[in-house]
Amino acid sequence: MKRPLLIALATGFVAWVAISPPHLVAADRRFSAQLSGSEEVPPSDTDATGHVNFVVAKEGAELHYRVVVANIQNIVSVQIQIGPRDQNGSAVATMYGPMAPGGGRKSGVIAEGTFTSSDLTGDLAGHPLSDLIGNMAAGRTYVNVHTDDGVPGSGQRGDYPDGEVRGQIH
């Protein structure tokens, strides 16, 4: 009596897996972050936004990324940092930069590439890429876009050396 129900449930699950988008089946294989000034600690007063997509590839040996921004200027670096949503943390990978201050307005795709374990820095230097991916899956990483207008202490848009827009990776 229980066997037909078990077979029906298993058949339904297999059908769901077959028609589901990859990000629903393998949620730990794709990640993203929505970037905004309100996510910074403390929040930044900016109209800048962004989005980052990540795809785990080659059995976890590579992490592909694509960084898209809008309404931002003077980007000096874009980094993955370790830390919970409400705290600042240390950088462990760089996706863009370092660039010279005062680079002007940017919109659209600013960086695309691939990480391997040899690209990890800071607290994850020398670690396998799976350590970064594990932190991403646990919600302990974020993307931070740092800006600098080249005028020390100006406090203007495009001058947030500690980060103008940020988003937790999930």
pLDDT, one tens digit per residue, over 26-43 is 445 899 999 999 999 999
pLDDT at site 23: 41
Phi and psi angles of residue 50, each rounded to the nearest 5 degrees, phi first = -170, 175
- CA geometry: angle 140, 142, 147, nearest 5 deg: 150
Residue 108 inside a domain? The answer is yes
CATH number, domain of 145, equals: 2.60.40
Break the chain down into helix, strand, coil percent, rounded to 5: 25, 40, 35
pLDDT at site 153: 78
Residue 150 has pLDDT above 80, yes or no: yes
Domain region containing 74: 26-168
pLDDT at site 91: 98
Q: How many domains does the chain have?
A: 1
pLDDT-based confidence at residue 152 (cuts at 50, 70, 90):
confident
d(CA 6, CA 16): 15
Amino acid at site 143 = V
pLDDT at site 62: 96
DSSP string, 6-17: HHHHHHHHHHHH
- pLDDT, average across residues 58-81: 96
Amino acid at site 51 = H
Residue 98 inside a domain? The answer is yes
Residue 85 inside a domain? The answer is yes
Closest Cα to residue 131, out of 145, 144, 141? 141
Residue 15 inside a domain? The answer is no
pLDDT-based confidence at residue 78 (cuts at 50, 70, 90):
very high
